[in-house]
Structure 1
Amino acid sequence: MDHTLKWGIPSKRPYLKLFQLLVLAGLFYFCSGVIQVTKTVKEAAMLSCDYNISTEELKRVRIYWQKDNEMVLAVMSGKVKVWPRYENRTITDVTSNLCIVILALRLSDNGTYTCVIQKPEKGSYKLKHRTSVKLMVRADFPVPSITDLGNPSPNNRRIICSTSGGFPKPHLSWLENGEELNSTNTTLSQDPETELYTISSELDFNMTSNHSFVCLVKYGGLTVSQTFNWQKSAKPAPSANQLLLWAIIIPVSACGISVIIAVTLTCLSCRHAARWRERTRNKESMEMERISPST
């Protein structure tokens, strides 16, 4: 019996057909010559033309780098020309697969770059090599920071969560025990030059109980988060007015006590001096009385 699997006959093993489709997709991607490079904003990306030529041959060939329908760089007669959008941040290395290096990557650099090499043949330039590189520029948000803003009202606390420098457009939410909370003053802005986003949000909560809040930022298929824990105090924290009152009472009390002590010591000293003077007078009187009869 022939057990050979034929392409025209439906297979009773669907996983085999799925495997065949995956193999075909992989072969198609490999044969298409598209290489993928993933970098983050402000980094440098090296894109290879995957073609080596000698220094002498470099003077005769033409090398073009373009992104979609936009020119990036060209090498003709050994001279390099860079288009304005990539000027001062794009260099070429003809000794290493005719690659180019794009510095200080921007989100707008996302796209497919194509390297084309033409060689002279019978009075005209003919295509000799062509390859494509897909550049993906990411902008990851850093872990959010949570700052304590103090007490907007008695028994209430306010905190703010913020992060910046990411893309695409983010969404910020506050969570406690898996449930989303109502936030206040949520702001979102985008830099017109870099296209990067900044987001922040405030949250008010009651200080009379323990809390564990999660600030969650979602952008694209990625997330970053930060946790804020609050432990209620055994005794209520004094308010600013109470602290000010104690700051006045303590010095005044200290001054009052000092005055009382000084007055008391002065009175005791005066009383002691008066007694001493009285004893002295009595003693002198007794002496005078003792001397008078004899006289």
Structure 2
Amino acid sequence: MGPSAFCGRRGEASPRRSCAFGARSARGAAAWRCGLLLSFLGFCAGLEDDCVLGIVGQLVSLPCVLPQLVAAVNVSIAWRRGEEVVLRSAWMDDGDVEEWSVNRATTPGDAALTGNLSLQLPAVEASERPVNYSLLVTSGGNQSGAELCATCLRTAASFSSPALRREEGAGPGGETAFWCHSSGGFPEPAVYWLLNDTEDPPGGSVWTLAAALPRSLLYNVTSRLTLNVSDDASVSCVVENAALGENLTSTCSA
């Protein structure tokens, strides 16, 4: 087995990024509008089917604005995740607001004055599937309540910039191996290799393993490319996170 070296450390190439860290994609942001029912209650519906995109470990707000509830009294609201209540708030006749929540979920402090009942989750956790949230409002004698807002949350996290290492004479025929490693992202990424920026590697030359950490569900990925390559060729490893529209690239070149 021949010597190995990290490409970036040798100064052959530095990682390149083409990404939007922590940014909500245009597809992930739902637009909202509210309309009056026969009572003062309203209906708030998403104009798009796409979920809100939350970045793992960061705060996310699930939008719900009901201006017709401004100055209302004797009203209670409940945000639910599936069938589980994660926040309950009651607006009393004397103007006091009582709120209870799970995992520090909140609504804006001026919700009773503005009608902004958006659910704020302080630290998003990774989830393999979109999670549905809904807001139930009850008022006065209407104990059954009405579901006024509904949305879903999908999650993502950026991967680390790929660490690319070159190992000479690693194959049985003296081939060169290139190792690419990236960590801490979500969901499972796609990894692909490029020769001289445009060419795909030969079939059977790539091995890739992506594994999710048991508790956080964040992924680590390692990929190996083994082939005969000329001294003047460049080899690039690309880690793609489609959920974020993020491509991270590292390149080894002569």
**TM-score, normalised by the number of residues in structure 1:** 0.54
* Residue identity in the other structure for 1:145: A
Q: 1:62 to 1:217 in 2, by over 3 A?
A: same
Shift of 1:34: 1.9
Preserved CA contact (<8 Å) 2:155 2:186: no
Whichever of the two has the greater Rg, that structure is 1
Measure how far apart 1:100 and its partner are: 2.3
Structure 2 letter corresponding to 1:193: R
State the distance in 2 between where 1:98 and 1:208 align.
61
On the 8 A contact 2:55/2:156 being kept in 1, the answer is: yes
Aligned to 1:289: none
Q: Is contact 2:44–2:66 with CA below 8 Å preserved after alignment?
A: no
1:113 maps onto 2:115 in alignment: no
Structure 2: gaps spanning 5 or more residues:
1-30, 36-42
Amino acid aligned to 2:253: W
Shift of 1:102: 0.2
Q: Which residue of 2 aligns with 1:228?
A: 251
Q: Distance in 1 between matches of 2:75 and 2:169?
A: 71
Shift of 1:107: 2.4
Is contact 1:40–1:137 with CA below 8 Å preserved after alignment? yes
Say which of 31, 37, 48 aligns to 2:63.
Answer: 48
Give how far 1:126 is off.
5.4
1:155/1:208 contact within 8 Å kept = no
2: distance between equivalents of 1:49 and 1:219?
29
2:166 and 2:177 in contact (8 A); partners too = yes
The answer on 1:187 being equivalent to 2:199 is no
Pairwise mapping of residues 56-205 of structure 1 onto structure 2 (< 5 A)? 57=73, 60-76=74-90, 78-83=97-102, 87-88=103-104, 90-96=105-111, 97-108=116-127, 110-121=130-141, 125=143, 127=145, 130-149=148-167, 152=170, 157-176=176-195, 177-181=198-202, 182-183=204-205, 186-205=208-227
- Describe the shift of the 1:70–1:210 C-alpha distance in structure 2 as closer, same or farther (beyond 3 A): same
Q: Note if contact 1:183-1:201 (Cα within 8 Å) is conserved in structure 2.
A: no
Decide which of 28, 36, 46 is 1:34's aligned counterpart.
46
Displacement of 1:209 in angstroms is 3.2
Gaps spanning 5+ residues in structure 1: where? 1-25, 232-295
Name which of structure 1's ranges 128-137 and 186-195 shifts more when overlaid on structure 2. Answer: 128-137
* SS in structure 1 of the partner of residue 66 of structure 2: coil
| Greater strand share, structure number | 2
Bigger share in helix: 1
2 CA distance for matches of 1:225 and 1:75? 43
Which stretch of structure 1 is more off in the superposition, 167-176 or 187-196? 167-176
CA distance in 1, matches of 2:221, 2:53: 25
Q: Which amino acid aligns with 2:65?
A: D
Q: State, as a whole percentage, how many aligned pairs show the same letter.
A: 21
Alignment partners' CA distance in 1, 2:181 and 2:137: 48
Deviation at 1:194, TM superposition (A): 2.1
CA RMSD of aligned residues (A): 3.8
Q: Given that residues 238 and 249 in structure 2 are in contact (C-alpha distance below 8 angstroms), is that contact kept between their aligned partners in structure 1?
A: yes
Q: Give the count of matched residue pairs.
A: 198
Does the C-alpha gap of structure 1 residues 94 and 118 become closer, same or farther in structure 2, counting only changes over 3 Å?
farther
